[in-house]
Amino acid sequence: METTPERTREDWAAALRRDCPSRTVVEVLASKWTLYVLAALRQYQRPMRFSELRRLLDGITQKMLTQTLRALERDGLLRRTVYPTVPPRVEYELTELGVGVGQLTGAIAEWAMDHSSEILRARQDFDDRATVPPQPVPR
């Protein structure tokens, strides 16, 4: 793995600009379906067919899965292989780049699973506070 020099505050300021190329990468990775597709391919550690991914990813539409797979292929995170059969068989698998980003997104998924009950409790507490009328501040 290549090491990169320490990022400066100016580097981060540039990354936050709307014209920074890294923003387009983050936009793809920030999609919930991207996270789930990467997770499925990473967990099963083998090429998967479209229909298999569709069955695994409860709630995803055919259109959204197609768009997500195309975006990941375009960014070099997965490889699409078409076999010359009738009907054609298509499989998707992570590239080396996809495996690397899958480790990052996998950490997010692990954290989410580990802390979901805390997050749900915080949401409920917030919603409960929102139903209480404002009280005067004691003097």
pTM for this one?
A: 0.78
Check if the beta carbon of residue 94 is closer than 8 Å to that of residue 38.
yes
Buried b (16+ CB within 10 A) or exposed e, 41-57: bbeeeebbebeebbebb
Average pLDDT, the chain: 90
Of 73, 68, 81, 70, the closest CA to residue 98 belongs to 73
Burial of 80 per CB tally in 10 Å (0-12, 13-18, 19+): middle
83-95 residue pLDDT tens: 999 988 999 999 9
Query: Which ranges in 16-131 belong to alpha helices (H)?
Result: 21-29, 32-44, 50-56, 62-74, 96-130
Whether residue 60 contacts residue 32, with contact meaning beta carbons closer than 8 Å, is answered with: no
- Residues 120-138 have pLDDT tens digits of 999 999 999 888 888 888 8
Q: Which pLDDT band, with edges at 50, 70 and 90, does 5 fall under?
A: low
